[in-house]
Amino acid sequence: MLLVTQLTVERDDAGCFWSDGVAKTVFGDGTVVVANFRQQPYKYNGQLIPARDFIIKKVK
């Protein structure tokens, strides 16, 4: 069975994007931080972020 859930995405005044417990921030030098505050893993661009963890990527 496939469960489909609608996601709510918001952007705050600092430019951070939020989606149901996941936050993405892009810094001026291209560094991207994606934080998963959820209790379950989250897949971002094909990379799995464990529950309550984050990734840092340098984007050129």
pLDDT in tens, 22-45: 988 888 888 889 999 899 999 988
Higher-scoring residue by pLDDT: 26, 47: 47
What value does the mean pLDDT take over residues 5-28? 71
Q: pLDDT grade, residue 19 (50/70/90)?
A: confident
Task: State the pairing for strand pair 31-36/53-58.
Answer: antiparallel
The gap between the terminal CA atoms of the chain, to the nearest Å, is 39
Q: Hunting for tokens 């931080």 — which residue is that? A: 33
**20 Ramachandran zone, left/alpha/beta (phi>0; psi -120 to 50):** left
pLDDT at position 25: 85
The structure's pTM equals 0.70
